[in-house]
Structure 1
């Protein structure tokens, strides 16, 4: 069974869904691959990833009025949690199942090529960010929070950025994904021998330890607290995504629907929305029933984890979400999701210029409309062209 991942593809590979038996959990005997059934393209993962990518772009521009309407305003979690969970889900579909059909070294080589591609795009964003700000400040003022002072005032430490020892702000999620992908082959080896539950137990235990002791983190030369997305904690979300893909493989590509569980998820999301909504920012009375508990993003606190898991379950068990993803709006979001590496990279660069323009030339409605429309059109045009090239490549292979 082939995946939709291509060499020119996305941060996480695009996904296909096999029938029941495409990836099965055998009780007490690990994970095995069954007879492949005809595949039906499931656009939910791509569409949800596309929505998350656009929200990440909007959230990275504090002055953008649209970030009042992203999911971080109606929940403990935000688009980053969705992004990493889908990374684990799609990585199993693209690589995890391949370990049962192809030589291990061949799949490992694909994983390493993906990591290399991620590193190239990470380097591109870092170089563009540093040189843009160092050039821009010769003509217009640049607030110090746009780039860490160690990089803003000299390039002697650029090598630390290249070695991922220093992670500038807004450039810290691809390094996390590189680390998770490098560990994915050993993860698959264990999954196929002991099954998902022991792996989930060990992964969850590590996440819990990090939540009790946040000092357990990778070093970041630019931040004494370490990586903004602590890999030792966020790995649990990635593993949960991979195990969800295994479970969905046993049920025709969807998570099994339980109405009581769906009610619990909706209830928790409603509570999360009330607790997280910026009441005072909208000039409204504070309607929160309690003081918001600890929701540290660095260590993926429990409230954030539950929030994204509830959202993901409702989407991946919903036939309504399936129909929406097949409609015009869903297909547009899925197109963004299929090319998520390019969308994330261009979006991050556009975010930088959007922040600089808003800071120096104002945040009026005319500027708001211009920045958002131009940014969306550029992202749409790029993904349309990438889709066209992908279709041509497929046609050439068939010929």
Structure 2
């Protein structure tokens, strides 16, 4: 088992935050950093995913490019199958709740109506990732980003200086044009435009590289920590003031000046980077003063995909529980307890399976 580190810890923190924020109205929602920030756990999660991709690519540096393509394409397929599976489970949970509670209205929750009213087209859209349920739409973004992983690794290996400029150019084009992928059979666009969100993913990948954040001197990191703290505080002040730019008073292209999540407007990028820098500096203090918390969140972060899938389904169950019991306070505490327990169990089982696989490999090697 790996020792706790800032990447796993903050990824675990993002997973817990995502779980809470995916149960609208829960009392703990008001204490997540989304309420005090211009960005939220989605930016943190995607940024750390890019950072983690760097570690994978670095571990394969001596391998031919074909091995890198195979490894990253396999990961993208795993995430794709996870998205299909949890969406089917979510539809079953929604259908079961609607039938058990005799509340047909529940079948319309989170864009689910199409699956029951037009199942043929909905299932085609599901397989193509063009049909997405609300609160189950971040993994499709992750699939696209990981599917681009081989191209990212190839550019980084062959012409590394082009990677960030190309990513930034695509990001600017998206802000100018509103470039996105359409959904179907429900008309609309992806909640997370992959053409915009690839930018923060690439930023994580680049900053995780040999010339990235780890190469900065301790003095530079300390300066960045305090500068980021100021920016985080400024973002918190704006969020607490509930300030939102009025699109009618903004010049074109308006996406440059809004706090838009779908297209990851620049204000969200800058704030997310400040948060990442601040969190990185804060980890040493947290690990020193709260080792059990560090261990638990790092455990979640090390097994992020399984934990995310578990958290997504448990958050949906939490929504149903709050609906059934009218959002009572004790139900909120129970939802949080069950959620954290389920996420911890998923992480523990994942870790246990890894240990069994490692022991089996050692026995075979010794035979």
TM-score, L = length of structure 1: 0.80
For the 8 Å contact 1:255–1:313, the answer to whether it is kept is no
1:374 and 2:338 correspond = yes
For the 8 Å contact 1:229–1:299, the answer to whether it is kept is yes
Cα displacement (A) at 1:263: 3.0
Match of 1:62 among 21, 24, 41: 24
Map 1:114-129 to 2 at 5 A: 114-129=75-90
For the 8 Å contact 1:93–1:245, the answer to whether it is kept is yes
User: Secondary structure in 2 aligned to 1:105?
Assistant: helix
Map 1:124-163 to 2 at 5 A: 124-140=85-101, 141=103, 142-143=105-106, 144-156=108-120, 157-163=122-128
Q: 1:170 to 1:300 in 2, by over 3 A?
A: same
Query: In structure 1, what is the equivalent of residue 263 of structure 2?
Result: 299
Unaligned runs of 5+ in 2: 247-256
User: Secondary structure in 2 aligned to 1:299?
Assistant: coil
Cα displacement (A) at 1:89: 0.6
Cα displacement (A) at 1:211: 1.5
Tell me the distance in 1 between the aligned counterparts of 2:289 and 2:279: 10
For the 8 Å contact 1:266–1:310, the answer to whether it is kept is yes
Query: In structure 2, what is the equivalent of residue 85 of structure 1?
Result: 47
Map 1:1-399 to 2 at 5 A: 43-94=5-56, 96-140=57-101, 141=103, 142-143=105-106, 144-156=108-120, 157-196=122-161, 198-214=162-178, 216-221=179-184, 224-247=187-210, 251=214, 257-277=220-240, 287=241, 294-317=258-281, 320=284, 323-324=287-288, 327-399=291-363
Q: What's the Cα RMSD here? A: 2.6
Deviations 1:332-360 (A, max 9, x none): 10000111111111111111111112112
For the 8 Å contact 1:84–1:237, the answer to whether it is kept is yes
Cα displacement (A) at 1:99: 4.2
For the 8 Å contact 2:4–2:295, the answer to whether it is kept is no
Unaligned runs of 5+ in 1: 5-15, 17-40, 278-286
Q: 1:325 to 1:55 in 2, by over 3 A?
A: farther
For the 8 Å contact 2:65–2:154, the answer to whether it is kept is no
Aligned length: 349
User: Secondary structure in 1 aligned to 2:88?
Assistant: helix
Tell me the distance in 2 between the aligned counterparts of 1:225 and 1:255: 47
Query: In structure 1, what is the equivalent of residue 251 of structure 2?
Result: none
Q: 1:114 to 1:267 in 2, by over 3 A?
A: same
Q: 1:326 to 1:248 in 2, by over 3 A?
A: farther
Q: Which has the higher helix share?
A: 2
For the 8 Å contact 2:8–2:302, the answer to whether it is kept is yes
Cα displacement (A) at 1:315: 3.0
